[in-house]
A and B are shown apart, each in its own frame.
Chain A
Amino acid sequence: MNHLTEEQLILHHYGEAEGRGLIASHLQVCESCRTRYQALQRVIEAVNTLTVPPRAENYGAEIWRQLCPRIARTAAARRSDLWRLFQWPRWALAGGLALLVLAAFVAGRFWPQRGLTTGPLTETSRRPISRQARERVLLKEIGDHLERSQLALIELINSKTNGVVDISLEQSLARQLVDVNRLYRQTAARLGDAGMASVLEDLERTLIEISNSPSKLSSTELAEFRRRIDTDDTLFKIKVVSSQVRARERDAARELAGKRS
């Protein structure tokens, strides 16, 4: 057998050479090839000096912390993509719904009384939507809006900075949220829910600030954003109000179900 080529030796080391038995036998009898093979093995062994920087014990949890808002956003985008297949854009729909709900609230203040004064012609089919049903729709929409806003802020404050960070995506989302937020804030104020109106006002200010800022932020500017959001406890307040809204929505649903049964 001729001397082994370098390719054969390399592939033999990794167990990928053809005729492995023949190569092994040759290496036993041919000192020249054996010496070359041993030198090659030392070189390949040296590659193991390449060390990987260690990670903290909670590395997986840290990755999840950074990944979570992106995953949630992907899931939300997937849902809205599905929605968009047969509907208007979600922001337009949310805005439209807000207007409808607002109109329903305003109208609801007058219709029932008028119905009562018109005498015996009040039929079940002509009854306006009940207060509980309207409230439930509004709470559901506000809850969704608060969750979307919370997600947008989390995404922004978790942005990675390598000198400059591009926030154009977050800005476009913030612009959509501002319009809807304004309607909800006005509705909350009109209904005398001062706590809700105040949180929505804070949120609106933050969203407008994001919408109007440059689309590329330096790490200092982003840090300033983070600091302001932290100082104002904006995220915390949204979270608290959001869970209150969800609880009220559940109560409204139970009340509605109780009335129907």
Chain B
Amino acid sequence: MMEESDAVAVAKAREGDQDAFRVLVERHSLRLFQLAYRMTGNEQDAEDMVQETFLRAYNRLDRFESRAGFGTWLHRIAANCSLDLLRRQKRRGDRERTVEFDPEEAIPMILSEAPAPDQQLFHAELQQKVESVMQELTPMERTAFVLRHFEGQSIEEIGSTLGAGPGATKQSIFRAVQKMRRALEPVMNASS
């Protein structure tokens, strides 16, 4: 059977067809989770963001303009939901924690793939450093960086999600990468 397009499913969902909305949920959930996880850095938060995104989308279906792709529209909602969450957490000070490298966590990975333990350990250390520095970014920097680096969105698209002009959006990406460089370069230089 031919897969129903997003546009057709959206049109049916607008008419109250919940099964059509189910098709959209099943089709887009995984990619939304990936975006939400990169934005929040936490599985439970990402799960919540996926649900929140679909609920918001359902409530605003009549505002969706079909000239933009439904996936793009959903990703924009997800980015906004995650940004709101990051800002709330920042205000409450929830994200003041830092991720420290724990060699014990890396050991099972090293044991399971014996060929290059040094490389594996370095990879694990680098990953934890990346997670740590991502948490230190401001909500705006993190959002701009994730949308540019992982989602490949243009400055204009990111700016529209953030409600910021191109200059401020570029600055956010620039500052995020700068913080990454400062945190990661010592680890990378030590390994070479």
Residues of chain B in range 15-73 having any CB-CB distance to chain A below 8 Å: 16, 18, 21-22, 25-30, 33-34, 37-38, 43-44, 50-51, 54-55, 58-59
Please determine whether A60 and B134 come into contact, CB atoms closer than 8 angstroms: no
Q: How many residues on the A side are at the interface (Cβ–Cβ under 8 A)?
A: 33
Residues of chain A in range 35-63 having any CB-CB distance to chain B below 8 Å: 39-40, 42-44, 46-47, 49-53, 55, 59-61, 63
A10-B177, A49-B126, A67-B54 in contact; A43/B185 too (CB < 8 A)? yes
Please determine whether A16 and B170 come into contact, CB atoms closer than 8 angstroms: yes
**Interfacial chain A residues near B27, Cβ < 8 Å:** 60
Q: Does B74 contact A (CB under 8 A)?
A: no
Bound-complex Cα distance A61 to B50 (A): 13
**Interfacial chain B residues near A67, Cβ < 8 Å:** 25, 51, 54-55
Q: Does B160 contact A (CB under 8 A)?
A: no
Per DSSP, are chain B's interface residues mostly helix, strand or loop, or mixed? helix
Bound-complex Cα distance A7 to B30 (A): 33
Q: Does B184 contact A (CB under 8 A)?
A: yes
Comparing A19-27, A68-76, A204-212, A227-235, the segment that makes contact with chain B is: A68-76
User: B: which residues have CB within 8 A of A?
Assistant: 16, 18, 21-22, 25-30, 33-34, 37-38, 43-44, 50-51, 54-55, 58-59, 123, 126-127, 130-131, 134, 148-149, 155, 170, 173-174, 177-178, 180-181, 184-185, 188
A sample of 19 more A-B contacts (CB under 8 A), given A46-B188, A53-B43, A75-B16, is A10-B173, A14-B149, A39-B185, A43-B185, A44-B177, A46-B126, A46-B180, A47-B130, A47-B149, A52-B34, A52-B38, A59-B29, A59-B33, A60-B26, A60-B30, A63-B29, A63-B50, A67-B51, A75-B18
